[in-house]
Amino acid sequence: MPTTTSSEPSLEEEFAEPKFRPPELLFLLRDLQAKLDKSLISVGKKRGIPGKTNPLSTVGFSNMCLLSPDKVVEKVSPYIKHIFTHLDEISSYFQRLVSLHDGVM
């Protein structure tokens, strides 16, 4: 699926030719960050009011909770390098674009 910086298309255009846009990238990066935070940061058991626990606190993290932190790092680390490489390329593209247009985008 190609990546684009164009504006959001109509529903028909999206079905005909789907593209990966900045909002989708931002959603995926935030989701990855939240899942890594949940599985890698050891906070300890929080004490709360009995009977007032949030049953939704682990929604979306069920598969991550099955893995040890070492296993999560082992699974994710090969992809992090590629993600950062692509983000650097995107950043360079926009820096070149700004420099070509005398600081105006």
Predicted confidence (pLDDT) per residue in 9-64, tens digit: 788 888 888 777 888 888 989 988 888 888 887 655 555 565 665 555 666 667 77
- Decide: 4 and 19 in contact? Cβ < 8 Å: yes
Per-residue tokens: 6? 């164009």
Cα gap 25→86, rounded to integer Å: 11
pLDDT at site 92? 92
The widest CA-to-CA distance across the chain, in whole angstroms, is 61
Q: Identity (one letter) of the amino acid at 71?
A: K
